Chains A and B, each alone.
Chain A
Amino acid sequence: MRLTISLALVLLVGLSSCAPNPQPLKKQLTLAVVSGVEGDALQQAARDYEAQKGVHIEIATFPYTNLFEKELIDLKARTGAYDLIMLDDPWFPRFANEQLLTELTPLLEKRGQSGPDSDFVDTSVALCRHPYQSGPLYALPYVGNSQLFFYRKDLFEKYSLKAPETWNDVLAAAKTIHEKETTGANGNRIHGYVMRAAQGNAAVADFMPIFWAFGGEMFGPDGKPAVNSPEGIAALEFMIELGKYSPAGYASFNADEVGAHLLQGTAAMSINWPAWISSFSDPAKSKVIGKMEFTTLPGAQKPGQAEIGNWLIAIPRDSSNAEDAIDFLLWATSAEQMKRSAQRGNPPTRKSLFRDAELVAKNPAYPAQLRSLESSRPRPRTPYWTEIENAFGIFLSKANSGTLSPAEAMNQANAEIEKILQRAK
């Protein structure tokens, strides 16, 4: 009986697909996008493209935490379900390393272009190549985030502190503000600094700029992990020193807590991402309107470098519509369309837009953002980054919550990273 039913179903499906289609078959693309402001901009672009070019675009939206697993599972299973995917740049090496993406240069050449537009910021395009900077191109950059240093210019003026250029300036300023502003924010202390040191991404993101400035490198010239170098340990010691001026409990803070402290005016400095900038001038959220300043990251032994965090768009290897996909990809990342995305709040990846008078008038931090982006560094480019970041973050968080000494934490982190790389062999 079951057999009969299934036979009937097969027949039905077969018949319906044979039925003459009154309309000519429309072209169709499927997009995987992240929920939130970055994905919203691309969705809107897709709707505009649909209206203009008559290509039907199917959009699958996923929250940030699920997007990675969703995409990797689908691409590894070679379902060909997506024609374009949004990727957070630290994920890219894994996708490229497993050869899950379409190389873009041949597609560009077919259209008479030799490579990506030179208007893209170099550090952003470098992320889209595998190996980093030098290899073939597998994606184009869409949203150009890089970390910025946020500080309260009113407090800096009040105590005649100069804009922080080195981490020692930061520490000294944090100390001054912390000691003097004991009743600054509605009777509460203003903390000199606020950082996030929750295990995983948070702790690592706030630590890397300090680590790099102190001369630390995650991998030595021989490719072996080297986080427990004297420079690395000194950087972690410095982070913990700075933590003394951070609100209690920062070892479990994520972006939300850091944002809340800055918006409530209970902390004076922090490393943060450009997405937060607009909220400081929103009267519904901010108690510090007009008091925040944004600049590039402080240096130490080495010049300050921000962590870059771009959203990339790539075409999966198994997409059956690669040529239509590249057409949309080039359209969405064109200066005209990216300007619309920038107007919706996403930092662009094109130099011309960071200098666009209309955008700069709305986003006064754009010059600082461009400087930060152009001098930024990617997270270490390895396919095993999620695993390494997780392990490294655990030990950083342990050191910041006082469970391990900085040297112990770095030694254990180094051993754990080595194990991860060993296993991968």
Chain B
Amino acid sequence: MPALFIAPALAVLLSLSIYPLIYSVTISLQKETPGGVVWGIGNFARLVSDSFFLTAMAHTFVYAVAALTCEFLLGLGLALLLNSQIRGRGIFRASLLVPMMLPAVVVGVVWRLMLNPNFGAINGTLKQLGINTESLTWTASPKLAMVSVIAVDVWQWTPFVFLVLLAGLQAIPQEPYEAALIDGSSRWQTFRHVTLPLLKPSILIVLLLRTMDLLRVFDQIFILTEGGPGFATETISLYIYRTAFRFFDFGYAAAMSFVLLALTNVISAIYIKFLQAKEEI
């Protein structure tokens, strides 16, 4: 009888998750040729010599590291700030959450308009302030484009980091702080030895979720720059999408997806290990 109750869920899982997963493994090992399907590790071998893939991978890491660093530091700062008793913190907290509520596509479109070098609000404002905006072609210059897409991600996702860390801060009991106060610790010492260790579980969760999200970023970049100019902001998800749905090379796209999956897993494992290990000391 219990088996019967699990059956529907199991059926859904099998048909929507397990089967596609196995199927994608098989197609990643296949190559369509005029003479029929050839089996082998050709798709994985091609990865090593595909400069588009390697560059897209590098872009993904630059993007993830830079965005994660900014989001974490800003989010932590905001959480600490709005955890204390300051006036109007309710309004601050609520308004900070707005970007997170917007769909990534909307964020992309809004920023694309704002970043337009000729008609956009940002250069318009800078011009009013007397700043020469001639060279500030946000999404069109290979150097600024990456900065722009990272800034948009930071704008949208810092609130999430803030929210999780704030919840973590509020869950810390008052007693350790009182003890620290009695022991005469400075504010920095209190932060370093009381707040941070007790906040560690929240930090772990937020870093893990953001890293996974950042590694598979697609929507905002697709709308903002479509990977351009040239190849300057092409991340691995964009390249996988193009390979699968533009060039119809599903085998190669599947192979790239598995590499991304493996890397995401390795990075997550490192996080968990690193943060757990420190806790035991």
Asked if A387 and B229 sit within 8 Å, CB to CB, the answer is: no
Tell whether, in the assembled complex, residue B245 and residue A69 are in contact, meaning their CB atoms are under 8 Å apart. Answer: yes
How far, in whole Å, are A175 and B232 apart by their CA atoms in the complex?
30
B226→A199 contact, CB < 8 A: yes
**Contacting residues, chain B, for A395 (C-beta < 8 A):** 230
B188 is an interface residue with CB less than 8 A from chain A: no
Is A251's beta carbon under 8 Å from chain B?
A: yes
User: A9 near B: Cβ within 8 Å?
Assistant: no
Contact B242 A251 (CB under 8 A): no
Partner of B145 from the list A69, A252, A387 (CB cut-off 8 Å) is: A252
| A266-B7 Cα distance, complex, nearest whole Å | 65
Known interface pairs A266-B118, A403-B230, A403-B232; A250-B246 also in contact (CB < 8 Å): no
Q: Which of B4, B116, B227, B245 contacts A257 (CB 8 A)?
A: B116
For the complex, is A130 an interface residue (Cβ under 8 Å from B)? no
A-B pair number, CB within 8 angstroms: 93
Assess whether A350 is interfacial by the CB under 8 Å rule.
Answer: no
What is the CA–CA distance of A425 and B140 in the complex, to the nearest angstrom? 36
Closest beta carbon of chain B to A207's beta carbon, Å: 14
Q: Which of B4, B117, B230, B232 contacts A248 (CB 8 A)?
A: B117
Residue interface mask A64-81, B partner, CB < 8 A = 1 = 000011001000000000
By a CB distance below 8 angstroms, the chain B residues around A248 are 117-118, 134-135, 137, 140
Cα–Cα distance between A390 and B242 once the two chains are bound (Å)? 9
User: B140 near A199 (CB under 8 angstroms)?
Assistant: no
CA distance A394 to B46 in the complex (A): 20
In angstroms, how far is the closest chain B Cβ from the Cβ of A200?
A: 7
Tell me if B's interface is mostly helix, strand, loop or mixed: loop
Asked if A252 and B118 make an inter-chain contact with CB atoms under 8 angstroms apart, the answer reads no
CB-based nearest A residue for B250: A73
Q: What residues of A have a CB within 8 angstroms of the CB of B246 in the complex?
A: 68-69, 386-387, 390
How many chain A residues have a CB neighbour from B under 8 Å?
Answer: 37
B158: interface (CB < 8 Å): no
B-side interface residues, number (CB < 8 Å): 33
Select which of B7, B117, B228 is within 8 A of A199 by beta carbon. B228
Given contacts A1-B4, A252-B145, A390-B246, contact A401 B229 (CB under 8 A): yes
Question: A366-425: which residues lie under 8 A (CB-CB) from chain B?
Answer: 384, 386-387, 390-391, 394-395, 397-398, 400-404, 423, 425
Choose from A197, A199, A250 the contact partner of B227 (Cβ within 8 Å): A199
Establish whether residues B245 and A252, one from each chain, have CB atoms under 8 Å apart when the complex forms: no
A252 to B145, CA, bound (A): 10
A257: chain B residues at CB < 8 Å are: 116, 118
Q: Please indicate the chain B residues that have their CB under 8 angstroms from the CB of A250 in the complex.
A: 140
Residues of A within 8 A of B33 (CB): 425
Give the residue of A2, A251, A404 whose beta carbon is less than 8 angstroms from that of B140.
A251
Q: What would 12 more interface pairs be, CB under 8 Å, given A249-B117, A251-B229, A252-B229?
A: A2-B8, A198-B229, A199-B228, A247-B118, A249-B138, A250-B140, A251-B137, A251-B230, A252-B228, A387-B247, A397-B230, A401-B140
B residues engaging A (CB < 8 A)? 4, 7-8, 33-34, 46, 52, 116-119, 134-135, 137-142, 145, 225-232, 242, 245-248
* Closest CB pairs A-B (n = 9): A249-B137, A398-B230, A249-B140, A252-B140, A249-B117, A199-B228, A401-B229, A251-B229, A397-B230
